[in-house]
């Protein structure tokens, strides 16, 4: 009898402990955000908690969404966000904020515009705490040219969230030489941020631009953006795999525009990304200069370093253009494009110009390989792009 009572007491005690434990766990759950997402009028500032969107709704982005320090915006697979407010409508993640884009190949997240034309909404801006070089040494901070948020710092491993299977369409705008919206802008974003399977399609400025930081990427597509398909500056260091870029829609500039820093060619940390497997397709070597003024697959200037490997280039007036003494000094060592396949219609493979404007022999910047496959399938659609991307 005593044994039965003891067992009963033990069960009650354990049950109470479990109830207490469950209650304690519930108390530890992240509280819901005070921000309420209105799908018909999606704008405002998320200051706390986590906002999770509903994939069954189309969110009309009527103004700016800002995700502040300590807050998170989570976007499930299959969600559509539709910019309706021109360049006043954009999504910006501040330092310490996070965005989680949880798309899949079958159900990508789509950020688009109500009017299917380039520049009809602002784009996605992410600001982190990783180093930039606007002041030599990497400890500087700055204000983003759009959204006016602080970026930069000393945390190379800073985490701004996770972006997977995202398509950004019809974004971007060039207000002036110092203020531009791109499809996706990385301002001092750290390597703790995951960026995989993202497309920037038919935007009014660059597809992707990196302003310093150390974020790594995998499987990026940039098609038909009206300036450069990819752009980096301010000391960006990142490791990247599978980039595909193509000019389209009768307007555009370079495949890649790469700087260390415009106002300090030797400022540190020096831009030094690694890119493995890349395809860039141009408008043709004789395309009208009025529409394609900078008909160069890869422009390397203002002191950048970088190692790019397994590259396919097609239909450009110039393949690889290297400019400025500081950049030329790295040619063949810290600045190199390895295993390049000039598939067709690239009459000038390499070109160099010193800071004083005189020409330089930079042929050592490239090694050639007819076996190079670029982003995975030469000039064709990469297998990893199937199902979630557009424009091929």
Task: Average the pLDDT over 39-46 and give the result.
Answer: 98
Quick one: pLDDT at residue 177?
59
Q: What is the mean pLDDT of residues 367-384?
A: 98
Question: Which token pair is 68?
Answer: 């502040």
Task: Look at residues 329, 346, 337 and name the one whose alpha carbon lies nearest to residue 369.
Answer: 337
Name every residue whose Cβ is closer than 8 Å to that of residue 240 and which is 6 or more positions away in sequence.
Answer: 216, 217, 218, 220, 273, 274, 275, 276
Residue 12 has a pLDDT of: 35
In this prediction, residue 131 carries a pLDDT of 97
Backbone angles phi, psi at 388, to 5 degrees: -120, -10
β-strands 173-176, 179-181 pairing: antiparallel
State the chain's mean pLDDT as an integer: 92
For the stretch 275-329, pLDDT in tens is 999 999 999 999 999 999 999 999 999 999 999 999 999 999 999 999 999 999 9
Task: Give the rounded percent of residues in the chain with a pLDDT score beyond 90.
Answer: 86
- Return the pLDDT at 145: 86
pLDDT one-digit tens code per residue, 191-203: 999 999 999 999 9
CATH topology of domain 42-385: Pectate Lyase C-like (2.160.20)
In the prediction, which pLDDT does 15 show?
Answer: 41
- Has residue 122 got a pLDDT over 60? yes
CB atoms within 10 A of CB 6: 10
What is the Cα–Cα distance from 231 to 179, expressed in whole angstroms?
14
pLDDT tens per residue, range 81-94: 999 988 899 999 99
H-assigned helices in the chain: 2-28, 325-328
* Helical ranges in 177-291 per DSSP H: none
Which residue, chain included where needed, has tokens 């993640």? 93
pLDDT the model gives residue 180: 77
Residue 96 Cα distances to 128, 150, 153, 307, 338, angstroms: 7, 11, 12, 30, 37
Stretch 269-277: mean pLDDT = 98
* pLDDT for residue 26: 40
Which pLDDT tens digit goes with each residue over 9-36? 333 333 444 334 444 444 344 558 999 9
Structure confidence at residue 178 as a pLDDT band (50, 70, 90):
low
User: What pLDDT does residue 339 have?
Assistant: 98
Distances (CA, A) of 46 to 64, 103, 158, 323, 339: 11, 21, 20, 43, 46
pLDDT at 176: 62
Cα 224–chain centre separation: 16
Tell me the β-bridge partners of 239.
274
| pLDDT at residue 378, rounded to an integer | 98
Q: Which has the closest alpha carbon to 178: 208, 153, 211?
A: 211
pLDDT band at 4 (very low <50, low <70, confident <90, very high): very low
What's the CA gap between 41 and 82, in Å, rounded?
Answer: 11
More confident: 111 or 176: 111
Smallest Cα–Cα separation from 305: which of 364, 237, 245?
237
Q: In whole angstroms, what is the distance from residue 84 CA to residue 377 CA?
A: 36
Residue 17: predicted pLDDT:
42
H helix or E strand, kind and range, residue 64: strand 58-67
Residue 81 near residue 110 (C-beta atoms within 8 A): yes
Rounded-to-integer distance, Cα 259 and Cα 301, Å: 5
Cα distance between residue 99 and residue 101, in whole Å:
6
In which band, very low, low, confident or very high, does the pLDDT at 139 lie, cut at 50, 70 and 90? confident
Nearest Cα neighbor of 170 from 392, 385, 390 is 390
What is the distance between the alpha carbons of residues 138 and 132, in angstroms, rounded to a whole number?
5
Q: Residue 48: is the preceding peptide bond cis (ω within 30°)?
A: no
């Amino acid at each position: 009898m005593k044994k039965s009572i003891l067992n009963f007491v033990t069960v009650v005690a354990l049950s109470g402990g479990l109830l207490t434990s469950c209650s304690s766990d519930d108390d530890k759950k992240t509280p819901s955000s005070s921000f309420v997402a209105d799908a018909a009028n999606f704008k405002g500032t998320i200051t706390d908690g986590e906002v999770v969107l509903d994939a069954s709704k189309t969110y009309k982005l009527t103004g700016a969404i800002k995700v502040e320090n300590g807050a998170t915006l989570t976007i499930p697979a299959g969600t559509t966000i539709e910019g309706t407010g021109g360049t006043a409508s954009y999504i910006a993640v501040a330092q310490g904020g996070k965005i989680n884009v949880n798309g899949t190949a079958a159900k990508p997240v789509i950020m688009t515009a109500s009017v299917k034309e380039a520049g009809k909404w602002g784009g996605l801006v992410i600001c982190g705490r990783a180093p930039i070089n606007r002041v030599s040494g990497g400890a500087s901070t700055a204000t983003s040219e759009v959204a006016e948020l602080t970026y930069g710092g000393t945390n190379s491993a800073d985490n701004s969230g996770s972006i997977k299977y995202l398509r950004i369409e019809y974004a971007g705008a060039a207000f002036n030489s110092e203020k531009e919206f791109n499809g996706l802008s990385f301002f001092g974003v750290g390597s703790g941020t995951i960026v995989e399977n993202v497309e920037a399609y038919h935007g009014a400025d660059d597809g992707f631009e990196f302003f310093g930081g150390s974020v790594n990427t995998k499987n990026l597509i940039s098609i038909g953006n009206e300036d450069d398909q990819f752009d980096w500056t301010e000391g960006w260091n990142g490791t990247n795999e599978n980039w595909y870029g193509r000019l389209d829609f009768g307007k555009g500039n370079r495949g890649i525009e790469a700087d260390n820093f415009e106002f300090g060619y030797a400022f540190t940390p020096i831009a030094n990304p690694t890119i493995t497997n890349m395809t860039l397709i141009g408008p043709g070597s004789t395309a009208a200069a009025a529409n394609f003024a900078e008909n160069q697959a890869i422009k390397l200037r203002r002191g950048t370093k970088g190692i790019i490997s397994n590259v396919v280039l097609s239909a450009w007036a110039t393949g690889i253009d290297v400019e400025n003494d500081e950049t030329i000094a790295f040619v063949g060592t810290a600045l190199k494009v390895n295993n390049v396949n000039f598939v067709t219609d690239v009459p000038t493979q390499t070109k160099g110009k010193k800071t004083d404007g005189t020409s330089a022999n930079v042929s050592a910047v490239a090694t050639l390989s007819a076996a190079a496959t670029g982003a995975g399938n030469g000039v064709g659609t990469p297998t990893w792009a199937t199902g979630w991307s557009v424009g091929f």
